[in-house]
Amino acid sequence: METPLQVHIIPVLKDNYVYAICDDQTSECAIVDPGKAQPVIDFLSKHDLKLKEIWITHHHSDHIGGLAQLKESYNCHVLGPSKQKDKIPQIDQEVTDLDLLSFNGHPFKVFELPGHTLDHVGYWLFKDKLLFCGDTLFSLGCGYLFERDYKQMWNSLCKIRALPEDTLIYCGHEYTQENAKFALSIDPENENLIKYSQEIDQKRERGTPTLPTLLKTEMYTNPFLRADLPFWEKKLKMIDASDVEIFKTLREKKNKFKA
Ligand code: ZN
Ligand code: FE
């Protein structure tokens, strides 16, 4: 049996998180979405780790900004989405939906999660119960829909929701506290949400990341994972509206929301 993987958080840019998935037995690691190179280089040298792979979720510069430099310095293997691949020339291996791969004996599956961008993918280490989902799902929120295809994003969120509820979710940004304000504004009586947002405030006060988040927590608190609950129809005065229409309304409210 392999040793469990350790996931370290490397904060970069304003509110991005780069994740280092480390195998302590071999001192090898995979890096997810390196928005900047130097903080990753510093992390690797501090912990004496070998960069073996880089996993990319989508082509935005805050997720690939450090990719070229890292690939050149470490000659590591780069996985990334096959759609819009011209935007990420460093990709060695294009991944598509349900590809089954492994990292140092830890199996993982790729999901296509379009909605934030067309090329978005997630990486699910199903034995370790870890999901790296970039800018698809955030704690208490979801990614901005650059393509405005609400059905597409809703389907991607439903894919995530169907995973085991004890899955730890590693999202691309520290947006949780801001997201909590919006979530509370539309779902103020949700006891789970109230309790969770208090924990978030405490973590941020201490300067601690609020990620990863547990899928189970999101299922009880994140409005965008709950758009198909019947109470929204009444709340939003959208009787007989479809799940996608409710999701769209919630997401558009979030776009306009000012705390
Ligand atoms: Zn993005
Ligand atoms: Fe981003």
**pTM of the complete model:** 0.97
Question: How far apart are the C-alpha atoms of 217 and 52, rounded to whole Å?
Answer: 32
63 assigned to active site? yes
Question: How far apart are the C-alpha atoms of 69 and 24, rounded to whole Å?
Answer: 24
Q: Are 259 and 182 in contact (CB under 8 A)?
A: yes
Distance 137 CA to ligand 2 centre (A): 11
Tokens of 53: 């792979």
77 assigned to active site? no
Angle between helices 150-161 and 243-256 (to 10 degrees): 100
Distance 188 CA to ligand 1 centre (A): 28
Distance 112 CA to ligand 2 centre (A): 16
Distance 135 CA to ligand 1 centre (A): 5
Given this model, what pLDDT does residue 84 score? 87
116 assigned to active site? yes
One of 60, 106, 119, 120 is an active-site residue; which one? 60
Q: Are 136 and 157 in contact (CB under 8 A)?
A: yes
One of 23, 33, 58, 120 is an active-site residue; which one? 58
Distance 234 CA to ligand 1 centre (A): 33
Question: How far apart are the C-alpha atoms of 96 and 83, rounded to whole Å?
Answer: 9
Q: Are 67 and 78 in contact (CB under 8 A)?
A: yes
Three-state SS annotation for 92-151:
CEEECCCCEEEECCEEEEEEECCCCCCCCEEEEECCCCEEEEECCEECCEECCCCCCCHH
62 assigned to active site? yes
Tokens of 171: 């999202």
Distance 240 CA to ligand 2 centre (A): 34
Residue closest to 134 by CA, chosen among 81, 203, 199, 189: 81
Question: How far apart are the C-alpha atoms of 194 and 38, rounded to whole Å?
Answer: 38
173 assigned to active site? yes
Given this model, what pLDDT does residue 85 score? 87
One of 59, 106, 116, 120 is an active-site residue; which one? 116
Distance 158 CA to ligand 2 centre (A): 20
pLDDT (tens digit, 0 to 9) for every residue of the chain, 259 residues total?
568 999 999 999 999 999 999 999 999 999 999 999 999 999 999 999 999 999 999 999 999 999 999 999 999 999 999 998 899 999 999 999 999 999 999 999 999 999 999 999 999 999 999 999 999 999 999 999 999 999 999 999 999 999 999 999 999 999 999 999 999 999 999 999 999 999 999 999 999 999 999 999 999 999 999 999 999 999 999 999 999 999 999 999 999 999 7
Alpha-helical (H) ranges within the chain are: 38-46, 61-64, 67-74, 150-161, 176-186, 191-205, 215-221, 231-235, 243-256
Given this model, what pLDDT does residue 1 score? 52
